Structure 1
């Protein structure tokens, strides 16, 4: 194959750029906001409301009011469950879309497949990539449509789940003094729920204003999610972080602040966004089942499964071949390993060369352009999309500060951010430093769970690794369901995954109700067989991730040795679940003796 670049030179460049950014402290470079900077985790959107503690019972209790929890409630309601309570720390439904309301916020997956239950609610999004407020309003609409507000508890955090061996139900304790009972519990505490701050020396000494992008302070900045940040007209602003959030925030800060300093450790790859309003004629032409068809078509294409047409046809589907390094799939299994890897790497180099050329074409200053070029493989970091981010660095009042050689910001003083010994005096520091990704309340230890005989779930999983059936349930912890990426399959359109999971949980609960069985719990044999399947099919992504620039995809440069995802991919996994439900698999979790 004739190439217009030198692959070995690119490999060397990637290695050198990675070494500039590796930190010995890994994830320890971050601090949990709730542990050390509680004000950054406060809710700026809803005033706290006192209430009396609850001591009642519900049939199903759902932990988390984001799309996972909403889908669990909706799918359970569709099977006939009336007694459902959702417990949510925020002041309303929406999950990450409740908390994140920063300027420019949009989804980066097409809204026609990202927003769930569109047909059930008779709604078509107004934009191809919907703004955050439209998404949040849709979440609330789901809550209303399925009657989930009726028994919801907002501004409430579950402190403990404890199984009652005699009564065969869960005792749910919260930070509001509640002690509720629930026949079943569904945990959907999210993978983007806990914001993190950088552990920069002197961060607590800064005398200006600070906030995390997930708690945007419009009282200080003025404006709203559409921009108009008039409160920053005379302010020098530091933005720390250049991931997916910063890509959307920077153009608004650049337009409205007196001066913006963007502190970057690693540049994001920035592709074309091409957002547009929904065509009314197209919306009118949609026929029943359109969302499922479109959503499943997207999932097949981005995981390499053959499809006759590309219904979405965007930057995600055009880079499908590259996404196997993030989402395992069996679609390329027929290609010899060496040939497969070489073809993948060449396609990756070509795409990244294209994105680096886009930077050169859009950024006028050569030095700034060079610093904005992403020197790593495509799926080392979450791809981003914007038609305004790169151009913002052509403004004289926007300065890019590269922190790679100092391994991040060195320190913060009373009035400045320091990098390379240079003090950048600012009035405000905004942290676009992301979240603890993929760590549920159970895995973080924030939500203790005690099953049969008081067994500690986290301790059980820590000794030998997680043990589940299909990622949903664990022996010794009856009627407890987990939504999330553990020991099942994932995808870039994660809300689709959550919907499949919620549908599965609802079907299992419905069958238990039909048979009048009180305990849903996997047999030891079924659980062991599934763990063995996960181990056997696990994709070996360690080498790829170990060579990536550090970030949350590879645990800050220290990738985990073993994948806990189903190696054949989400399309195969969803089909496996459907067969399991229809071909008698439920006998593995429904013990007749517990009726």
Structure 2
């Protein structure tokens, strides 16, 4: 039985789809959850793009330290510079600015959010993207342009990891130490080390025994010749979707190892019209960013300025990235309507697979059977046609719990050995695990209090940025605030907020910016009261990084009303005396 009505679903069809989704989920769930992956280490994570330069340890003082050179760190540095901060030290483990876009240089890499809203500070830098969905190299070049525009190279330390932050009550400053022997003082610290920086690998028995060539998509080996080689690509998430068509064009034979198929929608990328760009007026990027953010979080605007796959599926995104809901209908009716809209969209995506992929058996393996936001949606016009090539083989690993083993010359799935010369891991990054959360960056606040000790019963912040007992320390990211599919917009608002606090502290002569214990507790309560309850939705999902590989967290730490409301809350807080409560002159 398969649902046949395109727009309406009978109770029998609904139950059939729910049952199929559960069956497909159960085929893929592994009892070890995230432990099925291991942190990549050694040669496979060595920077292949920039040679590490030896240098003497740094022992000095700066006004502000920004940890992380991706867009979050760049935005923090830019906004702090605009706020009048002179000495800013940027520290990153990579060899240059760019963050994820420094590391991801595989063929075909591009952003899936429109460039005019994703690439931040376009007007400040004086740049209009060349493509609607910018390739990685254009994005990386823009990151470098931001750093140059705001003079962030001056005190930057690359190929450097901060290993400890410790507050000194007497001097009202932080001491930072690094893995390069640096030890310096700073008044302010902004942590934007990101959650898409540490590559992960499948914990496959025998992975270290493979004698052929291996590399991760985030450490692309451009010097390795794929022509004439039997190549395996492991992973069919966002990176795999983009790189697989390019590898197929070069390799003698490509084996694609898939655990769960991605939902692959139309990309329709195209150059941005220079004539249109010439008509843009000051404020154009903010207008487009706000328009996009409002739409994808469930709000309403007179005109959809972006009009793409994200804005067309805004209601479906609410299950993970919450936003405005219609208060005139009940939660039950909303779920009823959302589920059927979800069925329609996923039926459309599965129908596209059947229409494009010529071999019926391969097409069936490529069809995604889960709710739309169970995995991050992908967009490509090249991925599905790749499986029509005679030199490409799809290996579905759902029934074996993934790849079974690796030998010196093969990838093993069940009893089948696939002899290959090279294995490319498109297995992504550790997500939601920053150095602070993992403990690899210990932070000690007033009186030596460890931050993770303060957070032993869960994160405790004001607005997600700062914690009581940890003055002048700010976090960028999704913790206890609101997220969006366009995360750079969220980071820009966060960086602006931090810079406003620092500028106000300078005006008042305040030595410390620190929330009270009461303000912190009130915000924790706000998160607890407003956080969306999407546990049941995620528990029904196919395993992936959104739901902890089938083990969703029972506690959600995001601001339920969404980023549009959150950003307005911050602006109102700043304008109505909120900063009075965090400024400390003694």
In 2, Cα distance between the equivalents of 1:450 and 1:506?
23
CA contact (8 A) 2:66 2:189 kept: yes
Matched, 1:177 2:170: no
State the shift of 1:332 in Å. Answer: 3.2
Structure 2 partner of 1:167 = 171
Measured after TM superposition, the shift of residue 205 of structure 1 is: 0.4
User: Aligned with 2:47: secondary structure?
Assistant: coil
CA deviations 1:418-468 (Å, max 9, x no partner) are 11210000000111111111211100111110111111111221x211100
Which residue of 2 is the match for residue 545 of structure 1?
A: 538
Q: Distance in 1 between matches of 2:582 and 2:548?
A: 34
Unaligned runs of 5+ in 2: 1-6
Residues 1:14 and 2:21 are matched in the alignment: yes
Distance 2:8 2:196 in 1: 43
Report deviation, 1:80: 1.1
Counterpart of 2:4 in structure 1 is: none
Q: Secondary structure at the match of 2:560?
A: coil
Aligned to 1:266: 260
1:391 partnered with 2:391: no
Runs of 4+ in 1 over 6 A off after TM superposition: none
* Structure 2 contact 210–409 (Cα < 8 Å) conserved: yes
Whole-Å Cα distance in 2 between the matches of residues 552 and 301 of structure 1? 25
CA contact (8 A) 1:445 1:458 kept: yes
Q: Determine the C-alpha separation between the residues in 2 that align with 1:459 and 1:160.
A: 15
Report the 3-state secondary structure (helix = DSSP H, G, I; strand = E; otherwise coil) of the residue aligned with 1:17: helix
- What SS does the aligned partner of 2:318 have? helix
Residue 276 (structure 1) aligns with: 270
Question: How far does residue 335 in structure 1 lie from its aligned partner after superposition?
Answer: 2.3
Corresponding residue for residue 428 of structure 2: 434
- 1:589 CA drift (Å): 1.1
Q: Deviations over 1:6-62 (max 9, x none)?
A: 11110000000000000011000111113xxx1111100001101111111011110
Q: Shift of residue 334 of structure 1?
A: 3.8
1:154 to 154, 158, 164: 158
Deviations 1:242-293 (A, max 9, x none): 0000000010111110000000000000000000001011000000000000
Q: Which residue of 2 aligns with 1:108?
A: 112
Aligned match of 2:515:
522
Is 1:445 matched up with 2:448? no
Match in the other structure for 1:223 = none
- Post-superposition Cα deviations, 1:459-505, rounded to whole Å, max 9, x if no partner, equal 221x2111000000000111000000000000000000000000000
Q: 2:564 aligns with which of 549, 554, 571?
A: 571
Offset, 1:588: 2.1
Corresponding residue for 1:244?
Answer: 238
1:178-235 Cα offsets, whole Å, 9 max, x none, are 1010000000000101100100000000000001110011111xxxxxxxxxx21210
Corresponding position of 2:330: 336
CA distance in 1, matches of 2:549, 2:574: 39
2:142 corresponding residue in structure 1:
138
| Residue 425 of structure 1: aligned partner | 419
Please name the residue that 1:123 is paired with. Answer: 127
Matches within 5 A, 1:343-362: 343-362=337-356
Match runs of 1:64-79 below 5 Å: 64-79=68-83
Counterparts in 2 of 1:421-570, with a 5 A limit? 421-461=415-455, 463-570=456-563
Q: Hey, what's the Cα distance between the residues in 2 that align with 1:116 and 1:417?
A: 41
Secondary structure of the 1:180 match is: strand
TM-score, L = length of structure 2: 0.98
Q: Distance in 2 between matches of 1:137 and 1:501?
A: 23
CA distance in structure 2 between the aligned counterparts of 1:47 and 1:360, rounded to whole angstroms: 46
Contact 1:268 1:383 survives alignment (8 Å): yes
Output the CA distance in 1 between the equivalents of 2:308 and 2:407.
Answer: 44
Distance in 2 separating the partners of 1:232 and 1:548: 36
Matches within 5 A, 1:76-95: 76-95=80-99
Report if aligned partners of 1:330, 1:567 keep a CA contact under 8 Å in 2.
no
Aligned mates of 2:327, 2:529 — CA distance in 1: 14
Contact 1:30 / 1:199 at 8 angstroms: preserved in 2? yes
The 8 Å contact of residues 537 and 567 in structure 1, kept in 2 or not, is answered as: yes
**SS of 1:6's equivalent?**
helix
Query: Match for 2:574 among 581, 586, 589?
Result: 581
Structure 1: tracts of 5 or more residues without a match? 221-230
2-structure distance, mates of 1:389, 1:420: 26
Structure-2 residue corresponding to 1:3: 9
Deviation, 1:82, is 1.0
Question: Residues 72 and 495 of structure 2 are in contact (CA less than 8 Å); yes or no, is this contact kept in structure 1?
Answer: yes
Specify the SS of the correspondent of 1:219.
Answer: coil
Q: Distance in 2 between matches of 1:135 and 1:329?
A: 28
Q: Which residue number corresponds to residue 228 of structure 1?
A: none
| 1:373 alignment partner in structure 2 | 367
1:240/1:429 contact within 8 Å kept: yes
* Partner SS for 2:163: strand
Of 268-277 and 440-449, the range deviating more from structure 2: 440-449
- Deviation digits for residues 388-420 of structure 1 (CA, Å, limit 9, x no counterpart): 100000000000000000010000001000112
Count of aligned positions: 579
Structure 1 residue 333, shift from structure 2 partner: 4.0
Q: Does 1:186 align with 2:180?
A: no
| TM-aligned CA deviation for residue 562 of structure 1 | 1.0
Work out whether residues 239 and 261 of structure 1, in 8 Å CA contact, stay in contact via their aligned partners in 2.
yes
Q: Give yes or no for the alignment of 1:29 onto 2:36.
A: yes
SS in 1 for 2:583: coil
Q: Is the 8 A contact 2:8 2:340 kept in 1?
A: no
Task: State the SS of the aligned residue for 1:86.
Answer: strand
- What's the offset of the Cα at 1:2? 3.8
Secondary structure of the 1:218 match is coil
- How much does 1:591 deviate? 2.2
SS at match of 1:287: coil
* Alpha-carbon distance in structure 1 between the residues aligned to 2:280 and 2:352: 35
